[in-house]
Amino acid sequence: MMGGFAIALQPVNILAALVGALVGTATGVLPGLGVLGAMAVLMPLTFYLAPVSGLIMLSGIYYGAMYGGSTTAILLKIPGETGSVVTTLDGYEFARKGRAGPALMICAVGSCIAGTVSIVGMSFFMPALANLALKFSSPEFCALAILGIITLVRITSPNLGQNMLMVLLGAGLATVGVDAVVGSTRFTFGTESLALGFDLVPIALGLYGVSELLNVAQSSTGFPKAQSVALREMIPTREEWSRAWPAILRGSGIGFLMGLLPGPGSLTSTFASYGVEKAIARKHKSEFGKGAIEGFAGPEAANNAVATSALIPVLSLGIPFTPNVALLLGALMIQGIQPGPLLLSQHPDIVWGLLASMYVGNVALLILNLPLVSMWVRLLRVPQHILIGGIFVISIIGVYSVRSSAWDLIVLFLFGIVGFVLRRLKFDLAPIILGLVIGPVFEKAFRETIFLSRGDLTIFFRRPISASLLVITVLIIVLPALYKLYRRRRMRGYESTV
Amino acid sequence: MRHIAASTVLGFAMAVTVGTAQAEDYPTKPVTLIVNYPAGGGSDAIARSFGKALEKELGQPVPVENVAGGSATRGVTAVVTAPADGYTIGIATNSPLTFAAHTVEGLPWGSPDTYDLIAGIGSLYNVLAVQPDASYTNLEELVAYAKKHPGELRVATVGGGLNQYLWDQFTASVGIETQIVPYSGDADGLAAFLGGNTELVELTWSGTKPHIDAGKAKPIALFGPERLDNYPNIPTFKELGYDITTTSDYVIYAPKGIPAEIRGKIQSAVGDAVKNDADLRKALVNRGIVINYVTGEELKPRFVEMYENVGQAKKKGN
């Protein structure tokens, strides 16, 4: 590990970390411009660097983007990355109370803490955790997806039916296009555009970004007045800190564990963290949805922890579970290094150098971003019609850049209108995104499980991990109902004795 | 009347001269290389390395454009429908060109006659591996076991494309019954195999290799024309008596109707890049690709045969 720091603290590597973090933050802040695209475009540059420096730069982009995505979510209610969707719930409301500076600062510090927690965990437990990840296979994902949907639909609004409907809408949209298991096309009506399916980026940006624009444009008060924020209001109060840090630590833990598993960890971990914060909140429960600190501090820490721990399966097994880390794997392979179970013993310098550089990168990210906080907040003084217009243009470029498809732009506008209408009808939008992401995970895992068990459904109960997950799901559904029933009985019993 | 005839001839002559002049000067502007996968994947990395090598040969920038989606068919559509002037070419593997062509609806292309294969640059082999503690240690024992326990062996592979096609061909020719578990890529399939969920794994050599090196997977045989130089101990299916040598071939292709002279220039530039560019060769080898330059003319019969075989298999399946 000390050797690792010696490598990471070489000037060229510190520079690589800074450049990576800066580019990453920028792509995170600009909606639609994906972290994947930024990494891919910069990857050829890393051919000219030493393997470690190249990796340091790429991973800098990766965790920079995870942090940067929260900025527009907090300031404008437009998530820069899908991992920031949850942050729009409370982060934006908190900022509207004039506390945008502290919100951003809490996120910056939280990201740094989460990254550090994740890296420490990684340094100590990497080999053991890799094998844990292999224990999770299709049946477990299936059970996890059910548990996830059941618990997560409750978190944003109390209206379970409405949220479930939105999840199903999202899951339904995800089935359009090419089926992931056997490659046949579904619900395309013979058209090539529908064969493309619905990409997450245009839908998320449409539902949030474009609908926000429509919302502002039609409101009778016109564009909200630019806010002025005094510099001394940048720093969170002592009370705000004391509420934020436990949430940050919990979020880090959740993110660390979710990053080990295949699947859309950065999004699901934020929902999970939000759910946990809301469930355990006592004094401030009523604040959730109206600007609770825990409601964005936890999720933002979670998605940064995921960014780090998702590297564990790659470095210890050579198996990438997300496209972002697959790209890191590609960068390693171009350099002639074969990631796999032998990487740690054959190239310890690379693994420890990368880990140490992540400490350095996290600190670099914090140093870079604390001064930027006041700059971002000053952005709010820009008249909103210019700001939102600009964001709108960037969204269009970002969406188009993902797959160079005009169809995705149609989807962007279409879902802008859908989002606008749903907001009017007081529907929550986050469950659609959740359905869109978890729906395909569930379907794929379910179908794989059926193949694995040769059609036997009892496989879900014969495997200990999936069985326990299902039992927890049942308890979550049944317990609150039983509790209500019990209270009603007692009340009645009380009445009858009186 | 003679005037008209003369001016027509003159016009033709001019058109031909202009045409040749354009072909002689080619390329005068950047040549777009379309890859049918999103930025960041394995094929994208190969495309970017190839684009860099081609830049040196052509003396013009070769920007890579990712046109992903639709089972990797959209990129092909973008290439096929581009102007046939030599300024748009594509890189793809035979899998979307011959498999998805049958499954995805509404495509403006289909058989290898509908696009122009320019050259093949190399192949990726598939390998069959088993759990290290399995009772069968070679293909013969594996087949014997499978015959005694029909339907019991589960094989992790990727559904719907080349991977499954290879396995179906093998099991049909030897007459055994196994349970395919279709995953969506090397990563998923290997994770399931390493977690002990399947007895067999049949995936790309580049994905499986690190686990073979680590002793977590025991190689049985390769789907490819010959053994690998670095791993001479792994036999091919062909030498074991099963003539299944289909590989995943990376090809350069273009819309139909590119002027012959320009096509020739592209072809020789591709050939020079593949044969001589050290960086490109390194990138390909690191990806587990067996470099093998072949012209589109040599490659086409193989593509036609595969396209037709897949079409027949699909018809039978339905």
Nearest-CA distance B190 → chain A (Å): 8
Question: Cβ(A262)–Cβ(A321) under 8 Å?
Answer: yes
Question: Cβ(A101)–Cβ(A71) under 8 Å?
Answer: no
CATH code for the domain in which residue B178 is found: 3.40.190.10
Q: Measured between CB atoms, which of A134, A188, A191 is closest to B195? A: A134
Selected for mutation to probe chain A from B194, B209, B282, B314 (highest A CB count within 10 Å) is B194
Angle between helices A138-156 and A430-452 (to 10 degrees): 160
Burial class (CB in 10 A: 0-12, 13-18, 19+), A493: exposed
Question: Cβ(B273)–Cβ(B54) under 8 Å?
Answer: yes
Question: Cβ(A284)–Cβ(A243) under 8 Å?
Answer: yes
Residues B115 and B164 in one domain: no
* HSE-CB for A443 with a 13 A CA cutoff: 19
pLDDT at A99: 84
Q: A455 at the B interface (CB within 8 A)?
A: no
Q: Check A341 against B197: CB less than 8 A apart.
A: no
The separation between the first and the last C-alpha atoms of chain B, rounded to the nearest angstrom, is 63
Q: Check A338 against B194: CB less than 8 A apart.
A: no
pLDDT at A224: 54
Cα–Cα distance measured from residue B162 to residue A15, given in angstroms and rounded to the nearest whole number: 44
Q: Check A137 against B99: CB less than 8 A apart.
A: no
Q: Which residues pair with B183 in a beta bridge?
A: B158
| Strand B88-93 with B32-35, pairing | parallel
Q: Per the domain annotation, does B187 fall within a domain?
A: yes
State both tokens at A392: 């709108």
**ipTM (interface predicted TM):** 0.79
Cα–Cα distance measured from residue B30 to residue B152, given in angstroms and rounded to the nearest whole number: 55
For chain A, list residues with pLDDT below 50.
Answer: 498
Q: Check A318 against B41: CB less than 8 A apart.
A: no
pLDDT at B58: 95
DSSP one-letter string for B209-238: HHHHHTTSSEEEEEESSS--SS-TTSPBTT
Q: Per the domain annotation, does B16 fall within a domain?
A: no
State both tokens at A250: 């919990």
Q: Per the domain annotation, does B3 fall within a domain?
A: no
- Domain edges within chain A: 2-462
Burial class (CB in 10 A: 0-12, 13-18, 19+), B53: buried
Question: Cβ(B107)–Cβ(B62) under 8 Å?
Answer: no
Torsion from C-alpha of A465, A469, A472, A476, nearest 10 degrees: 170
DSSP one-letter string for A436-476: HHHHHHHHHHHHHHHHHTTT-TTHHHHSHHHHHHHHHHHHH
Phi, psi at residue B130, to the nearest 5°?
A: -125, 170
Residues of A in contact with B107 (CB under 8 A): 192
Sequence-ordered list of residues with C-beta below 8 angstroms from that of A121, at least 6 positions apart, any chain: A129, A256, A309
- Nearest residue in chain A measured CA to CA from B107: A192
Nearest one of A302, A247, A386 to A85, comparing CA atoms: A302
CATH code for the domain in which residue B40 is found: 3.40.190.150
Q: Check B39 against A136: CB less than 8 A apart.
A: no
Residues B173 and B148 in one domain: yes
Cα–Cα distance measured from residue B268 to residue B24, given in angstroms and rounded to the nearest whole number: 14
Q: Measured between CB atoms, which of A178, A334, A403 is closest to B104? A: A178
Residues of A in contact with B66 (CB under 8 A): 40, 403-404
Positive/negative CA dihedral, A8, A9, A10, A14? positive
Selected for mutation to probe chain A from B286, B310, B314, B318 (highest A CB count within 10 Å) is B286
Residues B96 and B161 in one domain: no
If residue A185 lies in a helix (H) or strand (E), which one and from where to where? strand A185-186
B97 is in which domain, residue-wise?
A: 29-122+249-317
Q: Measured between CB atoms, which of B65, B69, B287 is closest to A333? A: B287
Q: Per the domain annotation, does B161 fall within a domain?
A: yes
Residues of A in contact with B77 (CB under 8 A): 192
Selected for mutation to probe chain A from B44, B50, B181, B204 (highest A CB count within 10 Å) is B181
Q: Per the domain annotation, does B105 fall within a domain?
A: yes
CB pairs under 8 A between A and B: 176
Sequence-ordered list of residues with C-beta below 8 angstroms from that of B208, at least 6 positions apart, any chain: B127, B129, B186, B190, B201, B217, B219
* A 39-98 → B contacts, CB under 8 A: 39-41, 43-44, 47
Selected for mutation to probe chain B from A137, A191, A399, A450 (highest B CB count within 10 Å) is A137
- Nearest residue in chain B measured CA to CA from A177: B70
Q: Check B69 against A191: CB less than 8 A apart.
A: no
Identify the three-state secondary structure at position A98.
helix
pLDDT at A332: 74
Secondary structure E strands in chain B: 32-35, 64-66, 88-93, 116-124, 126-130, 154-158, 179-183, 200-204, 218-223, 248-254, 289-295
Q: Which residues pair with B210 in a beta bridge?
A: none
Angle between helices A265-280 and A430-452 (to 10 degrees): 110
Q: A333 at the B interface (CB within 8 A)?
A: yes
Q: Per the domain annotation, does B211 fall within a domain?
A: yes
| Strand B154-158 with B200-204, pairing | parallel
Q: Check B41 against A323: CB less than 8 A apart.
A: yes
Sequence-ordered list of residues with C-beta below 8 angstroms from that of B264, at least 6 positions apart, any chain: none
Burial class (CB in 10 A: 0-12, 13-18, 19+), B189: buried
Domain count for chain B? 2
Q: Measured between CB atoms, which of B40, B194, B209 is closest to A134? A: B194
* A 127-146 → B contacts, CB under 8 A: 133-138
- Nearest residue in chain B measured CA to CA from A404: B67
Q: How far is CA A319 from CA A468, B185, B212, in A?
A: 26, 11, 14
CB atoms near residue A280 (< 10 Å): 12
Residues of B in contact with A451 (CB under 8 A): 154, 179-182
Cα–Cα distance measured from residue B289 to residue B36, given in angstroms and rounded to the nearest whole number: 18
Q: How far is CA B97 from CA A106, A430, B103, B164, B306, in A?
A: 50, 38, 11, 16, 10
Residues B103 and B130 in one domain: no
Q: Measured between CB atoms, which of B154, B183, B209 is closest to A338? A: B209
Cα–Cα distance measured from residue B134 to residue B94, given in angstroms and rounded to the nearest whole number: 33
Q: How far is CA A387 from CA A212, A374, A379, in A?
A: 12, 16, 8
Q: Per the domain annotation, does B22 fall within a domain?
A: no
| Strand B116-124 with B289-295, pairing | antiparallel
Q: In what order do the strands lie in the sheet with B64-66?
A: B64-66, B32-35, B88-93, B248-254, B116-124, B289-295
Cα A313 to the center of its chain, rounded Å: 18
Nearest-CA distance B255 → chain A (Å): 18
Determine if residue A340 is left, alpha or beta; phi over 0 gives left, psi from -120 to 50 gives alpha, anything else beta: left
CB atoms near residue B137 (< 10 Å): 12
State both tokens at B298: 């040599």
DSSP one-letter string for A385-416: HHHHHHHHHHHHHHHHHHH--HHHHHHHHHHH
Q: In what order do the strands lie in the sheet with B126-130?
A: B179-183, B154-158, B200-204, B126-130, B218-223
Torsion from C-alpha of A84, A85, A91, A92, nearest 10 degrees: 120
Q: Measured between CB atoms, which of B40, B104, B211 is closest to A340? A: B211
Residues B118 and B160 in one domain: no
Cα A72 to the center of its chain, rounded Å: 14
Identify the three-state secondary structure at position B89.
strand
Determine if residue B173 is left, alpha or beta; phi over 0 gives left, psi from -120 to 50 gives alpha, anything else beta: alpha
- Nearest residue in chain A measured CA to CA from B50: A44
Residues B162 and B298 in one domain: no
Residues of B in contact with A333 (CB under 8 A): 45, 286-287
Q: Check A183 against B103: CB less than 8 A apart.
A: yes
Residues B115 and B57 in one domain: yes
Residues B33 and B170 in one domain: no
Nearest-CA distance A37 → chain B (Å): 6
Question: Cβ(A265)–Cβ(A259) under 8 Å?
Answer: yes
Cα–Cα distance measured from residue B248 to residue A182, given in angstroms and rounded to the nearest whole number: 18
- Nearest residue in chain B measured CA to CA from A327: B40
Cα–Cα distance measured from residue A300 to residue A438, given in angstroms and rounded to the nearest whole number: 20
> Digits of tens for pLDDT over chain B (318 positions)?
455 555 555 444 444 444 455 677 899 999 999 998 876 667 887 898 899 899 999 999 998 888 877 778 888 988 998 899 999 999 999 988 998 888 777 788 999 999 999 999 999 999 999 999 999 999 999 999 999 999 999 999 987 788 888 999 999 999 999 999 988 778 888 889 999 999 999 998 988 988 999 899 999 999 999 999 889 999 999 999 999 988 999 999 999 999 999 999 999 999 999 999 998 998 888 888 999 999 999 999 999 999 998 888 877 765
Query: Own/partner pairs for B197-200, CB < 8 Å, 24+ apart?
Result: B197/A137, B197/A138, B197/A452, B197/B154, B197/B156, B198/A452, B198/B154, B198/B155, B198/B156, B199/B130, B199/B131, B199/B134, B199/B152, B199/B153, B199/B154, B199/B155, B200/B128, B200/B129, B200/B130, B200/B142, B200/B153, B200/B154, B200/B155, B200/B156
